[in-house]
Amino acid sequence: MTRDSTPDRNVRTFTSRLADRARAIDSLVCVGLDPAHGQMPDGIPDSAAGAVEFCTAIVEATAPFALAYKPNLAFFLAYGREGLAALYDVRAAIPAELPVILDCKVGDIDSTDAAYATAWFDELNADAITVHPYLGEDSLQPFLGYPGKGVIVLTKTSNPGSGDLQDRTLGDTGQPLYEYVATRAAQWEQDYPASVGLVVGATFPEQLATIRSLAPTLPVLLPGVGSQGGELSASLDAGLQPDGAGLLCSSSRGIIYASSGPDFADAARTAASTLRDQINSTRAELSRRP
């Protein structure tokens, strides 16, 4: 499919869809779908078919609290050729009004990324994907040229070793790499039809505050909430926009593996609801602060 870089203002943007959904259900919870081998709950087979059954049940249980869903490509591919079909089945099971972010972290030369864009945007119909910017702007243009889609750029990731590269200062700018990426991403949001967002880990709230100042309007996917030890309150303080939105607080294991028993779906629903309430309570406290 041929894309150009002329923004189409008549297409509903991915960012606006997120904002509408957040207001409609009063939630910033993004549910990660990571159907890992060896972790299926009781009664669910450890297979691609089991992954579909598991994820579908999670979606049905948590949909009232989910701002978006984030299936992780790797966990599906681990089931082999059937795993890719399972990903398509799970995507089809997610209601159309719920945005779907494929966590695939792609980034290659432009011709290769054009193929990725066709695969994930046209064929799978993902609403957004995660990408890394290491190859530069031209490598991301095949994704950025899609009106109505989201391109979520790895900026400051939640893993402990992220600073090996992301904290390194660029000699010609004096900025750490993650700050420079945030600055460039904010410009891409202005220059291309796709919505641009950022991935910033909840494990680094101070860096998130800086990134928010550099990209005040971009949605931030916030992994690391829960099992990775992210500081939820500090991250909300650092990353929320003035209207109390702008974050997708992503939890995978903390929700989908809340129980390993046959009650896993009910437990996931409770975990998603609890996280939603924790976020909203903190948002209310922050809104009252002078």
Summarize pLDDT for 146-182 with one digit per residue, the tens. Answer: 999 999 999 999 999 999 999 999 888 889 999 999 9
Inter-residue contact 173 to 182 (CB < 8 Å): no
What token pair was written down for 223? Answer: 């992994």
**What superfamily would CATH give domain 25-288?**
Aldolase class I (3.20.20.70)
Instruction: Answer whether 0.85 is exceeded by the pTM.
Output: yes
What token pair was written down for 210? Answer: 């800086």
Active site residues: 105
Task: Read off the pLDDT of residues 26-74 as tens digits, 9 standing for 90 and up.
Answer: 999 999 999 999 999 999 999 999 999 999 999 999 999 999 999 999 9
Q: Residues 6 or more apart from 175 whose CB is under 8 A from it?
A: 169, 183
Amino acid at 212: R
Inter-residue contact 99 to 70 (CB < 8 Å): no
For residue 167, report the phi and psi dihedrals to the nearest 5 degrees: -95, 0
Average confidence score pLDDT of the chain: 94
Task: Read off the pLDDT of residues 86-141 as tens digits, 9 standing for 90 and up.
Answer: 999 999 999 999 999 999 999 999 999 999 999 999 999 999 999 999 999 999 99
